[in-house]
Chain A
Amino acid sequence: MENTVTVTIDGITVKVKPTATILDAAKQAGVRIPVLCADDKLHPYGSCRICLVEIEKSPRKFTPSCTTPVADNMVVKTMTPDLFEARKRILELLLCHHPLDCPVCDKAGNCQLQDLVHEYGLGPSKFTEKKRVVPPNYKSAVIDREVARCVLCGKCVRVCREQNAVGELAFTRRGKESKVSTDFDQQLDCEFCGECVEICPVGALTTKQFKYRGRTWNMERTQSVCNYCGCGCRMVYETRQGRIVRVRSAARNYLCGKGRFGWDAVHHADRLTTPLVRVSGELVPATWDEALAMVVTNLNVIKNKRGADSIGGLGSVRTTNEESYLFQKFMRSAIGTNNVDMLARLKVPKGLNTTFFSGELSNISGHDVVLVLDGDVAELNPLTGIEIVRAVNRNYKKLILVNSGYNKLNRIASCVLEYVSPDAALADLLPALKSGQGTGAVADAAAILKEATSVAVIIPARLPDGTYYQVRELLSLLKGATTYPVVKRSNFLGALDMGVLPGYYPGYQKVSPDVVSRFASAWNCMLPEIPGKNALEMLDAIKQGSIAALYIMGDDPAGSDAGLKPVLEKLEFLVVQDIFLTETAKMADVVLPAVSSAEKAGTLTSLERRLQGISPAEEPLGDAQPDWNILQTVAKKMGSAMHYASPSDIMKEIRALVPLYADLAVGSVWPAEKSPLHGSETNLSLLSDSVEKNDVITSERLLFSSGTTTTRSKELTTVCTFKVEA
């Protein structure tokens, strides 16, 4: 039986944990206490005093509810005439220096101070001194600081330090001169996540992107999911007259710089708006009919002349589950080959989804110790980084960090193992765990790990064979270990789940007579019975001439490895579906314009294996079409029966054919044990010494740059010159 205390708030009696504050108890009782400086993301602070309440039999007249713990049989009143007057006075004092420039303030309509002043109905003030004049600071990239509007609640300072471990903002000076400052009031040099802007209760922090672009009450809002990395952060598109003007995190969620500011790539001038076909060596605009006729004719000719296996398909980690599903269905049924794969498999840890299934990120704080084997995790999967910081700063858990450089995690780590790579660190750590050998940091780390009853292990994005076995040994030595692999790309897991794999049908159902006949009868067609070539084998086959045509959906091999250009040049026919004219698209015979994730519906599967829905916030640009619709049109013209009115039709089919997704509700995670590959030795990653899958990056910080899309975000290019901390 858990220990609880009984508290009565405005006549409502609730049982709460003894560690709860009065504010927590009030929330549980369904009673609203007004707040400014309190936030669920942060430790209680108690700077604004708006949340004052009266406690019966207390020697104090008023007590701040956000910082005061409950006591048994406490009786609290949250609204009395005296409290009303007290809060009114506090607001009056806050307004002493707050400029009333609400008509030009981006926060107006969504401002906690404005709402409270409205609620408490302030009239003329008896304080008549002049307002403090503090010039605004527009020096920073992305974020503007309207210093005069600041009410010194400290939320930005605290979120930057407690949640992000960045500490870019701090209160400097004292008393009436105190203000929120950056390092020596210079321009911001931080992660540019914009969490400070989001949490600011007034308009002291605003974004350049949104300035004078619209009023908050005129926005239409569309719930969606960020499509940059594998974390799958929920977000809200705010649109005005059909155009996105702002992206915000969904309540109590987090967004990094890419998620919050990187959406403007959707409006980049490089977007493809019409199909392109190669005529006399040049790509020229064409109609859909012309372009599709060229695709169908050429694919049919090559298929008839050289067989279906002379055609290959490379899928994408950016497209939705429905599109990935349709892509492999298209390759298997309309073309008739199992040559379907993704080059992104070069960039994921060995053992992903066979040995290492990710736990839910929000559970990282629940472990005694977090062991980070990849020092770059906070750059590659920012939300994982935030959860690690939360574990340390909010839940007082220990962090053991393997990192050769220095970044924000170093500042909060209990123990830092300075090794050039995880395998070097594990070479020393494993003996220390087994037999107590080792000195210094390794011995400290081993001692911490031995004491722990549960450990969160962050698995590096790159995991060669040797390290893979070391990590497996490590996991066998730890008590209660849960793995959290780093997955850089947004829908990598979804694409795997949907069978964009040469040897597996959707749901990791191995290409075998049983499975093939099941899918053949469901799809009402003939299907190839031998597994296809993986991405690397396909590239080799192109070199040797046995693959003559390639169908690429949403990937840019030539952009990520220039060495692949001569390989792709050997193709007789190349089709590329993309939203930009990438290096690969420039080489294509037909380029089909697709739409971005802001213009289509569907589902994504995050690295936690969580199924989440995206929704269109804008109409498709120009003649561009969603990938799923392009695929079904091509398939139909090639004689396949595909009739989907919307992505949800495709999802219905997926649910019928893929046991993992059969009753997987949107928002929930499919259980690891249900996967046919659970615990098997199958390797879903590819490893190659010759082919690179470099990110097309413009920044030294992977945090701001992950390739094709981020390089076309105006906001992200303004911050991409910022270096990794020295």
Chain B
Amino acid sequence: MLTEQEKQEISEELKHCERPEAAAIEALRVVQKKRGWVSDASLRDVAAQLSMTPAELDAVATFYSFIFRKPVGRHVIALCDSMVCWSLGHDDLYKLISTKLGIGYGETTGDNRFTLLPASCLGACDRAPAMMVDDELFGPVTPETIDEILSKYS
């Protein structure tokens, strides 16, 4: 069940759109903002409000890597694995983070602090290797700066 506030916020987004489907991403973000991720049950509810079928909305949700269809930790690390970041040290960076946190791609730390995900191009090739934690972009990330970055998130 969506909360009244979520329904309200989605209705607000719908006002900007000629067709309800056009509000799909924003509506999913409304739910994700409050709950951290989008469950099957909430996706079904959002679909109903947008006059879409669950399959149609799920097509949108699963296409975008920043809509989470599985539970994630309190913070999400998105490590860019595209061409430029890869050639400038993605693999080493991944190994480092993975060892430090004890998790691989798609996994969440036992204390639920971090989830590690790959991201295709973050659009920050000039700062490669780049990564995002929640909404903040970091780069170039080096073994020296990584501890400091991670320590900002509890």
Contact = CB atoms under 8 A, between A and B. Distances in A.
Contacts of A172: 55, 58-59, 62-63
A181 B44 CA distance: 15
A184 B62 contact: no
A174 B53 contact: no
B62 A174 contact: yes
B55 A168 contact: yes
B101 to A, nearest CB: 25
Interface in A133-170: 161, 166-170
B148 to A, nearest CB: 33
B97 interface: no
A184 B53 contact: no
B63 A167 contact: no
Contact of A170 (B44, B51, B55): B55
Contact of A167 (B40, B44, B53, B62): B53
A183 B51 contact: no
Contacts of B62: 172-174
Interface of A, helix, strand, loop or mixed by DSSP: mixed
B54 A183 contact: yes
Interface in A623-652: none
5 contacts: A167-B55, A168-B55, A174-B62, A183-B53, A183-B55
A168 B53 CA distance: 7
B63 A174 contact: yes
Interface residues of B, number: 12
A182 B55 contact: yes
A132 interface: no
Nearest to B53: A167
B134 interface: no
A171 interface: yes
Contacts of A170: 53, 55-56, 58-59
Interface in A172-212: 172-174, 181-184
B133 interface: no
B54 A184 contact: yes
B48 to A, nearest CB: 8
A544 B44 CA distance: 58
Contacts of B54: 183-184
A176 to B, nearest CB: 13
Given A173-B62, A174-B62, A181 B51 contact: no
B146 interface: no
A415 B40 CA distance: 29
Given A173-B63, A174-B63, A410-B51, A161 B56 contact: yes
Contacts of A174: 62-63
Query: Which of B44, B51, B56 has the most chain A CB within a 10 Å cutoff?
Result: B56
Contacts of B51: 410-411
Nearest to B51: A411
Given A170-B55, A170-B58, A184 B40 contact: yes
A174 B64 CA distance: 8
B119 interface: no
Contacts of A169: 55
Nearest to B48: A726
A194 to B, nearest CB: 18
Interface of B: 40, 44, 51-56, 58-59, 62-63
Interface string A239-258: 00000000000000000000
A181 B54 CA distance: 10
Given A174-B63, A410-B51, A411-B51, A184 B58 contact: yes
Nearest to A184: B40
Contacts of A166: 53
Contacts of B63: 172-174
A359 B60 CA distance: 39
B56 A167 contact: yes
A183 B54 CA distance: 5
Interface of A: 161, 166-174, 181-184, 410-411
A405 to B, nearest CB: 14
A503 to B, nearest CB: 48
Contacts of B56: 161, 167, 170
List the 6 shortest-distance A-B pairs measured between CB atoms, nearest first: A170-B59, A170-B55, A167-B53, A183-B54, A172-B62, A411-B51
A161 B57 CA distance: 13
Contacts of A182: 55
Given A173-B63, A174-B63, A184-B40, A167 B58 contact: no
Contacts of A168: 53, 55
Contact of B58 (A161, A181, A410): A181
A410 B59 CA distance: 21
User: Counting chain A CB atoms within 10 Å of each CB, which of B55, B58, B62 scores highest?
Assistant: B55
Contacts of A161: 56
Contacts of A411: 51-52
A133 to B, nearest CB: 20
A562 B132 CA distance: 70
Residue among A174, A181, A183 facing the most chain B CB atoms (10 A cut-off): A183
Nearest to A413: B51
B73 to A, nearest CB: 22
A478 B58 CA distance: 41
Contacts of B52: 167, 411
Nearest to B59: A170
Nearest to A411: B51
Contacts of A173: 62-63
Contacts of A167: 52-53, 55-56
A184 B56 CA distance: 10
Contacts of B40: 184
A55 B54 CA distance: 41
Contacts of B44: 183
Contacts of A171: 59
A125 B147 CA distance: 49
A171 B59 CA distance: 5
A166 B58 CA distance: 15
Nearest to A412: B51
Nearest to A175: B120
Given A167-B53, A181-B58, 16 more contacts: A167-B55, A168-B53, A169-B55, A170-B59, A171-B59, A172-B55, A172-B58, A172-B63, A173-B63, A174-B63, A181-B55, A181-B59, A183-B55, A184-B55, A184-B58, A411-B51
A182 B40 CA distance: 13
A183 B44 CA distance: 9
A181 B63 CA distance: 13
A555 B41 CA distance: 46
A523 to B, nearest CB: 58
A169 to B, nearest CB: 6
Contacts of A410: 51
Nearest to B61: A172
A630 B40 CA distance: 59
A182 B57 CA distance: 11
A105 B51 CA distance: 37
A168 B55 CA distance: 6
A620 B56 CA distance: 46
Q: Could you say which of A161, A168, A172, A182 has the most chain B C-beta atoms within 10 Å of its C-beta?
A: A172
Nearest to A726: B48
A166 B59 CA distance: 15
A184 B47 CA distance: 13
A430 B56 CA distance: 37
B51 to A, nearest CB: 5
A174 B63 CA distance: 5
A370 to B, nearest CB: 18
